Copies of this chain bind each other. A is one copy, B any other.
Amino acid sequence: MINNLHHTGPLTEKRQALYGHAGGVIWLTGLSAAGKSSLAVALEQALCARGYACYVLDGDTLRTGLNANLGFSPEDRQENVRRVAEVAALFAQAGMVCITAVISPYREARGYARQCYAQSFHEVHVAADLSSCEGRDPKGLYRKARTGELAHFSGVSAPYEIPLNPDLRIDTGRETLKDSLDTLLRYVLQHIPHTT
């Protein structure tokens, strides 16, 4: 967890005045194919249109860059989530609303992520259930996980620990993306209001 003494004080206020809102982390957690990335990108577009400084950290995309040297073992997943948590906190300290889309299957790791930016961390459970996600299976990952071709797959051959007290839970298994976005956007506008 970063020592953020440098990033408190006058610059924080200047940034808040410049962007019209405080920094924060919107942490989307859920199974593969639950709709995290779609929701994250839709939220980013909606916030950008409203003049928010915001950015998506997508787990799959980061695995082609920052996390390209990590696999899917429990240790690597933990390191994957730790790095995303640290970077999300940097973005929030920089005054932005950082939206993360990472499975982040372990409660402990999500708790760590919260501690990295406790002043404005919002855990959102993107809560499509396993059968919905497996029914979609857009990348054929569940099929590969069932045949054993893909190991350590959250919800199939590795745990996904459901959030017990998320700040928001969205049932993307039943709702349309538009309805899910409406719920999420309303939450963000309320909790990280834009002053202008």
Q: Which A residues lie at the B interface, using CB under 8 A? A: 1-4, 6, 11, 14-15, 18-19, 41, 44-45, 48-49, 51, 53, 55-58, 61-62, 64-66, 69, 79, 83, 86-87, 89-91, 93-96, 116
With A and B bound together, what is the CA distance between A2 and B56 in angstroms? 13
Add 11 more A-B contacts to A4-B61, A66-B86, A83-B83 (CB < 8 A). Answer: A2-B61, A2-B65, A3-B64, A6-B41, A6-B58, A14-B48, A18-B48, A19-B53, A53-B53, A55-B90, A66-B90
- Which B residues are in CB contact (< 8 Å) with A1? 64-65
Main secondary structure, interface of A, reads helix
Quickly give the copy total for this chain.
Answer: 2
Query: Given A64-B2, A64-B3 in contact, is the A94-B11 Cβ separation under 8 Å?
Result: no
Asked whether, in the complex, the Cβ of A18 is within 8 Å of the Cβ of B51, the reply is yes
With A and B bound together, what is the CA distance between A15 and B48 in angstroms? 8
Q: Which residue of B lies closest to A41 (CB)?
A: B6
Asked whether, in the complex, the Cβ of B57 is within 8 Å of the Cβ of A90, the reply is yes
Distance in Å: Cβ of A104 to nearest Cβ of chain B:
16
Question: Could you list some 8 contacts between A and B, CB below 8 A?
Answer: A1-B64, A3-B61, A6-B56, A11-B45, A55-B93, A65-B89, A66-B86, A87-B90
